[in-house]
């Protein structure tokens, strides 16, 4: 740097001598030329003093843990299959060990994200995590559709410890903890279901639209504290009064576990809106117009005789009913029943205990 500055001063001195002696009496023109030459030297000096970019990346810089599925070859147009590409992104996101743990045996992934980037992806088999015993992960932001070759008993997103999933090196009572599925449009293409959550803890399903399922839109089995909210489910895309309503089948949400919550959810077509066979679940702010009772439909079916322990509040049963088998500790309140919507207490062994049905609004 010093040599560059010294050279600049030397050149400037020589220029002063040449200009003042070479132009004689034309002093004004000489000074203009000298200023221009000085400005060019200053520019040269500033370029020389600028730090050069290192040809090598800084050591120790950590990459953000957001995995873009298109970087792995997923096709966001839906023209070609993206199964293996999305699975590759999931595999890398869940790869590696951590010194942080959640529940015993659940490896804390630190909030890693699989970002679908607003694309429309076709898959030919369920998306599973490659290893059980992990948590704190999100999949979000796009559309996933089953191909015509998708297994008819599969789920688009399968949080289970079956198939290709393996147990982590540490043992856990649960398969997964704090997995978030958010801002997703899931199209089962009349082949299987949408989301399967098996023996998992504190799962979030938020702002999802799930359609064209033949089994369950969402299946929750074992585990507990799965929270489903701000979502829309329907076997057929309709807004009521569908000419094929009698043919609706499948179940919107199946809760075969304890301590779950369904909040601010609309189920607009299915034979059964919500099936409950686990204890201590709460249903709030739900609108069921999945299939009219006169067509054989049920809005909410509590199939846990003698162990109901279910709360249904602030909900809207739209021409469809609530059925509770041998209800025990059942609370239904502040809900709206339109048309022939009603509540049926169904006897299996003649048990009914702790039933509270209050402050509801029926309108024929």
pTM exceeds cut of 0.85: no
Residue 359, SS3? Answer: coil
Q: Write down the pLDDT at residue 172.
A: 65
Tokens of 237: 């895309």
Q: What is the pLDDT of residues 163-211, one digit of tens each?
A: 444 554 445 689 999 999 999 999 999 999 999 999 999 999 999 999 9
Return the pLDDT at 53.
46
How high is the pLDDT of residue 298? 98
First CA to last CA distance, the chain: 90
Q: Cα–chain-centroid distance for residue 11?
A: 66
Tokens of 259: 């301590």
Alpha carbons within 13 angstroms on the beta-carbon side of residue 251 total: 17
Question: What is the per-residue pLDDT for 101?
Answer: 84
Contact 12, 39 (CB under 8 A): no
**Chunked in runs of 10, what are the mean pLDDT values of the chain (364 residues)?**
46 46 54 57 48 47 83 98 98 81 90 97 97 94 98 96 52 88 98 97 98 98 96 97 96 97 98 97 98 97 92 98 97 97 96 97 92
Q: How far apart are CA 123 and CA 80, in angstroms?
A: 9
Taking a C-beta distance cutoff of 8 angstroms, is the pair 149, 126 a contact? no
For residue 35, the model assigns a pLDDT of 61
Neighbouring CB atoms inside 10 A of 180's CB total: 18
Return the pLDDT at 161: 81
What domains appear along the chain, each with residue ranges and CATH number? 2-49 (no CATH), 66-363 (2.160.20.10)
Backbone conformation region of residue 309, classed left if phi is above 0, alpha if psi is from -120 to 50, else beta: left
């Amino acid at each position: 740097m010093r040599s560059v500055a010294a050279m600049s001063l030397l050149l400037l001195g020589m220029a002063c001598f040449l200009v003042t002696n070479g132009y004689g009496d034309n002093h004004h023109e000489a000074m203009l030329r000298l200023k221009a030459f000085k400005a060019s030297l200053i520019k040269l000096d500033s370029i020389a003093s600028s730090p050069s970019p290192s040809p090598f990346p800084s050591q120790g810089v950590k990459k953000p843990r957001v995995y873009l599925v298109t970087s792995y070859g997923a096709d966001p147009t839906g023209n070609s299959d993206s199964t293996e590409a999305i699975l590759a992104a999931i595999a890398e996101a869940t790869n590696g060990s951590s010194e942080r743990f959640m529940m015993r045996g659940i490896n804390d992934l630190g909030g890693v994200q699989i970002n679908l980037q607003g694309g429309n992806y076709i898959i030919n088999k369920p998306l599973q995590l490659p290893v059980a015993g992990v948590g704190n992960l999100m999949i979000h932001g796009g559309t996933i559709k089953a191909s015509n070759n998708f297994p008819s008993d599969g789920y688009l997103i399968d949080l289970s410890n079956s198939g290709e999933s393996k147990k982590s090196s540490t043992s856990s009572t649960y398969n997964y903890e704090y997995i978030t599925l958010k801002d997703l449009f899931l199209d089962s293409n009349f082949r299987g279901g949408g989301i399967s959550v098996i023996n998992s803890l504190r799962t979030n399903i938020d702002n999802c639209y799930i359609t064209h399922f033949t089994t369950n839109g969402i299946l929750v089995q074992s585990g507990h504290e799965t929270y489903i909210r701000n979502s829309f489910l329907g076997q057929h895309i309709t807004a009521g009064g569908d000419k094929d309503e009698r043919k609706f089948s499948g179940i919107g949400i199946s809760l075969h576990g304890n301590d779950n919550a369904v909040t601010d959810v609309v189920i607009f077509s299915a034979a059964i809106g919500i099936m409950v066979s686990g204890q201590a679940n709460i249903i709030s702010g739900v609108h069921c117009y999945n299939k009219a009772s006169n067509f054989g439909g049920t809005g909410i079916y509590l199939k846990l005789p003698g162990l109901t322990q279910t709360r249904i509040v602030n909900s809207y049963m739209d021409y469809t009913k609530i059925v509770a088998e041998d209800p025990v500790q059942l609370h239904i309140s502040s809900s709206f029943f339109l048309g022939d919507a009603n509540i049926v207490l169904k006897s299996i062994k003649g048990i009914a205990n702790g039933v509270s049905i209050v402050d509801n609004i029926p309108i024929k």
